[in-house]
Structure 1
Amino acid sequence: MFKRYFHSRERYFAMLNDNRVVHPFEWGAELIVENLNGVDPHTALSELANEWVERSTDVFSSRSAISYELSAISYSGRAAGQLIWPSAIETPSPENNTARAHYFPNGKDRRAAIVILPHWNAKAGTYFDLAKIFNQLGMSALRMTLPYHEERMPPELERAEYLVAPNVGRTLQSVRQAVLDTRAAVHWLKEQGYEKIGLVGTSIGSCTGFLAFVHDPDIDAAVFNHVSGYFSDVVWNGLSTYHVRESLETAVTLEELRKLWMPISPMAYMPKLASQPWRPQRYIYTRCDLTFPYGLSLDTMAQLRSLNIKHDEVVLPCGHYTLGQKPWVWIDGWKIVSFLRRAL
């Protein structure tokens, strides 16, 4: 009965003011493959996917120097700042090429700071209250703007459809950009003198946060809010991405897509995580999730256990969208902040 209720609420919230658009399928190899020279785009992307997984340390790092610009703003009467810098990835959308974050310092205290990675299509101002809670607990916070979101959204879009798209190459490029932007944010916090860095990512922010966590030893602890090991399977089976699948399935199978998007899938880097010194990590998922289906979360937890990766799990009885509703959002928030407070 409870499952039926939550599934009903999930469908209601997912389709509320539904403005999803079915975009045409595109390989998008030209965005990330140099010198295609007439090579079949599917073949080129398959080869690149294998290469990215093998060279992930280089793929998810940037050697270029970064010039940051911080301007003062105010939020709820508290001093805050807006941080901008050139993204390490240059995309066809000029608006998207400037990385952005909102900075909520805890005075002059430099003991700990949290990077906050929002969910897909998060609106301006979301997660500011979470940042404020971190401040109240003695930690600073840096709330990221994801690629193609808010000020980074090109004028032809109403939703951040280029971050998760039926364009194989663009999605790879966009998620890589999100990871590099996250690492640049961590680097800036370290430059400010913060001793410990935590991270919390929700939904797609959980995925990009995991990729950053595995590839950046400066992240000392993390919470992943909604969990799946395969990017492709969430898009293919998730309620929120039905319109993306509608286009994808005209050209690829799920098995093909899983291989093509393996470089942006947490499952590809589980062995890498297992080989590293342990860091505190909490995984939060829900039993009635139709967007990050429950079975995908269970598979991810099973893989962590099989590799003897010490971790903390929280399972809540609601769903993806209902996790953002009371009382679940309060419980979720407590599970996030209490863990990071202890870990840092």
Structure 2
Amino acid sequence: MYHSWLDRWDERRARRGEEGKKTTDFILDADRAFPGAGKIASIEEFCALADQAVANPAFFDEPSDSDQHFERKEGWLKFPSDIATEIAANNVVWAKITESGSFDQAMVIFHHWNASARNSQIANFFSRRGITVAEIAMPYHFERSRPGSVHADYMLSPNLGRTIQSIRQAVLDGRKLIRWLKKEGYREISVVGMSLGSWVAGLIAARDQAVSKASLFLTAGSLADMVWTGRATRLIRDSLEPEIELSDLRRAWGPLNLENYAHSLARPDLDLHVVLAKRDKVVLPALSKGFMQRLKHAGARPHILELNCGHYSLGMPPYILSAGLSLKRFLSCAGKPALRS
């Protein structure tokens, strides 16, 4: 009875999330995703470039001419993004820094798609326990929002190239913040990602040796499959489905598929923590399970917490309390947890 009510609550929350959204055109826009690609007219050509990006270990690396101008004032850090878009506000990265008074550990949080506010409760909880928290604004969110937009439609959309550009921008921004934290003297860096933010955190953890712990909430491997099957992305699928097969979308968004970096996520000096929702209609449990199996086959030993709730109801008691305590234990422990089946 309770779980039926919980499912209905999640559905009502999903409907509220659809307010103001609309279908937009399917566009390849390859030059955004792969600078210098020029005019690409076919899905096959786009997919060939995506295959090259997956094989390129430098695709998510910071450029050599990165602008290192950081401004810090009253708990905020501001710096230029290394990817320039036509939205001026999006080209400046903002992060809320909640200090702990210790340089032992810092945690960078990547929020979910269309987040409306940062979470001061989480930041204060961990800062009181000796972990400095940096809550970064992902592209087209918070201070970086596109003027006139009611949601972050430029970060995840049926524009294949812009979606890759936006996720790549989020990764480069996050890595730049991590460089700053290391220069400030923080010894251990953790990344935490929520839903879409888990893809960003996962890509960073796979590529950045400075990250020693990664916690992925409501995650899976294939972003293409999540968008195609998820409750929150129906309008994006409506635009994609007449134009592209799911198999081609998987290839086109291959650079964003965490399964393609499973061996990097299984590196010996990275600890993984995953929180999943058994009743999730946004990131389907089957997709999450497949990703966990891929990680284990690659040699990773993730600590997995599965809760009997939905995507949105994870934010409700008692589930959020269980997830928070699990994250606290993970960040506090040393070494890799035992492999779970």
Same fold (TM over 0.5): yes
8 Å CA contact retained: 1:95, 1:151: yes
Q: Is the 8 A contact 1:67 1:85 kept in 2?
A: yes
Tell me, yes or no, if structure 1 residue 256 matches structure 2 residue 248: yes
- Which residue is equivalent to 1:179? 171
| Residue 113 (1) aligns with residue 106 (2) | yes
**What's 1:170 paired with?**
162
Aligned partner letter, 1:150: F
| SS of residue matched to 2:333 | helix
Which residue matches 1:90?
Answer: 84
Deviations 1:264-300 (A, max 9, x none): 11011112333x3232111110100000001001101
Q: Could you give the per-residue CA deviations for residues 218-246 of structure 1, whole angstroms, max 9, x where no partner exists?
A: 01111101120100011110001111111
In structure 2, the partner of 1:267 is: 259
The change in CA–CA distance for 1:289 and 1:63 in structure 2 (over 3 A counts) is same
Question: In 1, Cα distance between the equivalents of 2:234 and 2:59?
Answer: 33
Deviation at 1:326, TM superposition (A): 1.9
Q: How does 1:14-33 map to 2 (within 5 A)?
A: 14-16=14-16, 18-33=19-34
For residue 156 of structure 1, report the CA deviation from its aligned partner: 3.2
Computed over aligned residues only, the root mean square deviation of the Cα atoms, in angstroms, reads 1.7
* 1:323 matches 2:314: yes
Tell me how far apart the structure 2 counterparts of residues 39 and 72 of structure 1 sit (CA, whole Å): 44
Kindly report which structure 2 residues correspond to 1:192-271, keeping only aligned pairs within 5 A, or say none.
Answer: 192-271=184-263
Deviates more, 1:291-300 or 1:25-34: 25-34
2-structure distance, mates of 1:262, 1:306? 19
Match of 1:122 in 2: 115
**Measured at CA, do residues 26 and 38 of structure 1 come closer, stay the same or move farther in structure 2, by a change above 3 Å?**
closer
Does 1:290 find its partner at 2:281? yes
Q: Is the 8 A contact 2:62 2:176 kept in 1?
A: no
Which deviates more, 115-124 or 170-179?
115-124
Aligned equivalents of 2:216, 2:252: Cα separation in 1:
23
1:121-140 to 2 correspondences below 5 Å:
121-124=114-117, 126-140=118-132
Deviation at 1:342, TM superposition (A): 2.1
1:121 CA displacement: 0.9
Partners of 1:70 and 1:317 in 2: how far apart? 43
TM-score relative to the length of structure 2 = 0.93
Q: Distance in 1 between matches of 2:38 and 2:70?
A: 40
Gap regions ≥5 residues in structure 1: 74-80
- What is aligned with 1:59? 60
> Please, which moves more after superposition, 162-171 or 301-310?
301-310
Shift of 1:34: 4.5
Match of 2:94 among 100, 117, 121: 100
Give matches, 1:148-167, under 5 Å.
148-167=140-159
Cα distance per residue 1:150-188 (max 9 Å; x no partner): 111111311001111110000000000011111011111
- Counterpart-to-counterpart distance in 2, 1:272 and 1:201: 17
Cα 1:325–1:69 shift into 2, 3 Å? same
How far apart are the structure 2 equivalents of 1:147 and 1:269?
A: 22
Change (3 A) 1:38 1:196: closer
**TM-score after normalising by structure 1:** 0.92
Q: Secondary structure in 2 aligned to 1:40?
A: coil
307, 314, 337: which one pairs with 2:328?
A: 337
**Are the structure 2 counterparts of residues 37 and 68 from structure 1 closer, same or farther at C-alpha, using a change threshold of 3 Å?**
closer
